[in-house]
Structure 1
Amino acid sequence: MPLLERVSTLLRANINDLIEKAENPEKLLKQLVLDMENQLLQVKTQVAIAIADQHLLERKRQEHEQEIAEWKRKAELAVARRHDDLARAALERVISFERLTKGFAEQAEDQKLEADTLRQTLHKLEQKLSETKAQCEILIAEHRRARVLKRATDAHQHVGATQDSAIGRMKSKVRRESAENLAAGEVLLPATLEDRFRSLEEQEQVELLLTQLKERAALPASTPE
Structure 2
Amino acid sequence: MSIFSRLTDIVNSNLNALVANAEDPRKIIRLIIQEMEDTLVEVRSSAVQTIAERREIERRLDMLARDEAEWQRKAELALSRDREDLARGALQARAHVAKTRETLDLQRQQIAAGLAQQNEDIAKLQAKLADAKSREQALVSRHGLASSRVKLRETLYDERIGDAFSRFEQVERNLDVLEGRVESYDLGRRSLEDELAGLETDEKVESELDALRARLQRRASPPAGS
Alignment-derived partner of residue 129 in structure 1: 129
- Is the 8 Å Cα contact of residues 72 and 91 (structure 2) preserved in structure 1? yes
- Name the aligned partner's letter for residue 161 of structure 2: G
What does 1:168-183 align with in structure 2 at a 5 Å threshold?
A: none
What count of residue pairs does the alignment treat as equivalent? 159
CA distance in 1, matches of 2:49, 2:113: 13
* TM-score for the superposition, normalised by structure 2: 0.61
Aligned residue number for residue 154 of structure 2: 154
Q: Which runs of 5+ in 2 are unaligned?
A: 166-226
* Deviation for aligned residue 1:138: 0.9
Q: 1:84 to 1:8 in 2, by over 3 A?
A: farther
Give the whole-Å Cα distance in 2 for the aligned partners of 1:96 and 1:8.
46
Query: Does the Cα contact within 8 Å between 2:3 and 2:121 map onto a contact in 1?
Result: no
After superposition, where does 1:40-79 map in structure 2 within 5 Å? 40-79=40-79
Once the two structures are superposed, the pairs formed by residues 67-106 of structure 1 within 5 Å of their partners are 67-106=67-106
Describe the shift of the 1:155–1:39 C-alpha distance in structure 2 as closer, same or farther (beyond 3 A).
Answer: same
After TM superposition, give the deviation of residue 149 of structure 1 in Å: 3.4
Q: Deviations over 1:85-105 (max 9, x none)?
A: 221221111000010111011
Query: Does the CA contact (< 8 Å) of 1:10 and 1:36 recur in 2?
Result: no
> For 2:161, what is the secondary structure of its paired residue?
coil
Calculate the aligned-residue CA RMSD, in Å: 2.8
Conserved 8 A contact 2:36-2:125 = yes
C-alpha separation between the residues in 2 aligned to 1:98 and 1:46?
A: 30
Please state how far the C-alpha of 1:77 moved relative to its aligned partner. 1.3
Deviations 1:52-72 (A, max 9, x none): 222222222221111100111
| CA-CA distance at 1:129 after TM superposition | 1.0
For 1:54, the aligned partner's letter is R
Q: CA deviation at 1:153?
A: 4.2
**Using the alignment, how far apart are the partners of 2:143 and 2:86 within structure 1?**
83
- Equivalent pairs: percent with the same residue? 23
Change (3 A) 1:80 1:51: same
Distance 1:103 1:39 in 2: 32
Map Cα deviations across residues 158-216 of structure 1 (whole Å, 9 max, x no partner). Answer: 452788xxxxxxxxxxxxxxxxxxxxxxxxxxxxxxxxxxxxxxxxxxxxxxxxxxxxx
Q: Unaligned regions of 5+ residues in structure 1, if any?
A: 164-225
* Structure 1 contact 22–28 (Cα < 8 Å) conserved: no
Counterparts of 1:67 and 1:8 in 2: how far apart (Å)? 48
Is contact 2:61-2:104 (8 Å) kept? yes
Letter paired with 1:138: A
Q: Aligned pair 1:37/2:37, yes or no?
A: yes
Distance 1:4 1:46 in 2: 15
Are the aligned partners of 2:7 and 2:35 in contact in 1 as well (CA < 8 Å)? no
**TM-score normalised by L of structure 1:** 0.61
What CA deviation, in whole Å up to 9, does each residue of 1:73-126 have, x standing for no partner? Answer: 111111122222221221111000010111011111111111111111111111
Q: Note the C-alpha offset of 1:19.
A: 8.8
Max Rg structure: 2
